[in-house]
């Protein structure tokens, strides 16, 4: 090598480095008096990082779209059926342990039985959904989160029934998570039916405390977020409004759509009760806070004003 030359290792962005799957170091010999400025060096690294990030986001969105298009959760429903979705598998009966939680885990079946006995609905007209598969759930959930549900202790924390931690996970999957996955299928299908018929009701679902990375408050799967992503891809929908009227703040979908301007969130909730998620509250487009003891008339007045 010539005396006035020395070897300097310089990171140069190439077509290969812009590919997330392959990272290449490019070696170049520079004259001794020609050095790469620190600012330029940082600029190159930043550019490479931004390109990799954009490539990663694009790859993730492509995979999500592929999973949605391959899903079997959307299917044609005969016109003889009404757009009310329910299956007996929604109801959770777990050796009586489910009664340790204030949430009524058999209310879905009781609602349908009431509608049938009252003559408002014929049992044969109810639409039964398919159970969401792992690939369906991966549209929103991470692999690591779904794997965490293989621990009975984790599921027990999510549904807030501590004794569930003592049971084999195969039993927890069958008695708790299988009903939840059926309800997820119902929520996703409801969007398709609503687009076709003008309205639809999934008697179950609405697990608004669960986001892609975390469950809680008796919500193990983010069915609302999943439903919306399916609608974006399959139904050619570009804007969605969530009107959340549960007494509790819907922190799950708020975190999932924190930076997604396609989704507008109106949440009417009691700030003095669970989940106290102050970060998620930042992502509510229109919050309507109602305290305990609010009368029906006061509540409806506030709701009307918010909807206007």
DSSP string over 234-245: HS----EEEEE-
- pLDDT tens digits for range 7-28: 444 444 444 333 433 333 333 4
Going by the DSSP 8-state scheme, the letter that residue 253 receives in this structure is H
How many angstroms separate the CA atoms of 73 and 283, rounded? 29
Mean pLDDT computed over every residue of the chain: 87
> Is the pTM higher than 0.85?
no
- Whether 237 and 231 have beta carbons less than 8 Å apart is answered as yes
Query: Can you read off the two tokens belonging to residue 195?
Result: 């687009």
Handedness of CA 217, 136, 230, 174 (dihedral sign): negative
CA distances from 94 to 132, 176, 184, 219, 303 (A): 21, 8, 20, 16, 37
> In this model, does residue 49 exceed pLDDT 90?
no
Going by the DSSP 8-state scheme, the letter that residue 272 receives in this structure is T
Is 84 in a helix, a strand, or coil? strand
> In this model, does residue 138 exceed pLDDT 70?
yes
Q: Quick one: pLDDT at residue 18?
A: 39
- pLDDT tens digits for range 52-84: 556 677 889 999 999 999 999 999 999 999 999
* % of the chain at pLDDT higher than 90: 76
Q: Quick one: pLDDT at residue 58?
A: 85
Among 141, 209, 229, 248, which one carries the catalytic annotation?
209
- pLDDT tens digits for range 236-263: 999 999 999 999 999 999 999 999 999 9
Count of CB atoms situated within 10 Å of the CB of 93: 13
Q: Quick one: pLDDT at residue 257?
A: 98
**Mean pLDDT on 272-278:** 97
Active site residue 122: no
**Mean pLDDT on 162-186:** 96
Note if the bond before 275 is cis, omega within 30 degrees: yes
Going by the DSSP 8-state scheme, the letter that residue 247 receives in this structure is S
């Amino acid at each position: 090598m010539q005396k006035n030359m020395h070897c300097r290792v310089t990171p140069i962005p190439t077509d290969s480095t812009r590919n997330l799957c392959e990272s290449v170091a490019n070696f170049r010999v520079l004259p001794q008096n020609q050095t790469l400025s620190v600012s330029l060096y940082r600029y190159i690294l930043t550019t490479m990082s931004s390109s990799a990030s954009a490539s990663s986001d694009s790859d993730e969105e492509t995979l999500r779209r592929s999973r949605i298009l391959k899903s079997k959760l959307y299917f044609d429903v005969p016109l003889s059926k009404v757009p009310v979705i329910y299956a007996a598998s929604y109801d959770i009966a777990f050796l009586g342990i489910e009664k340790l939680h204030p949430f009524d885990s058999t209310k879905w079946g009781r609602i349908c039985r009431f509608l049938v006995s009252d003559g408002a609905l014929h049992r044969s007209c109810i639409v039964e959904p398919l159970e969401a598969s792992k690939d369906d759930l991966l549209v929103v959930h991470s692999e690591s989160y779904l794997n965490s549900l293989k621990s009975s202790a984790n599921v027990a924390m999510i549904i807030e029934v501590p004794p569930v931690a003592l049971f084999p996970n195969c039993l927890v999957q069958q008695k708790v998570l299988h009903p939840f996955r059926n309800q997820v299928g119902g929520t996703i299908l409801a969007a398709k039916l609503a687009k076709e018929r003008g309205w639809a009701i999934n008697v179950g679902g609405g697990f608004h405390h669960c986001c892609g990375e975390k469950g809680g408050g008796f919500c193990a799967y983010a069915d609302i977020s999943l439903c919306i992503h399916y609608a974006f891809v399959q139904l050619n929908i570009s804007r969605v409004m969530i009107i959340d009227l549960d007494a509790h703040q819907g922190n799950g979908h708020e975190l999932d759509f924190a930076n997604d301007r396609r989704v507008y969130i109106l949440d009417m909730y009691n700030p003095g009760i669970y989940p106290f998620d102050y970060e998620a509250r930042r992502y509510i487009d229109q919050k309507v806070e109602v305290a305990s003891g609010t009368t029906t008339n006061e509540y409806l007045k506030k709701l009307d004003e918010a909807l206007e």
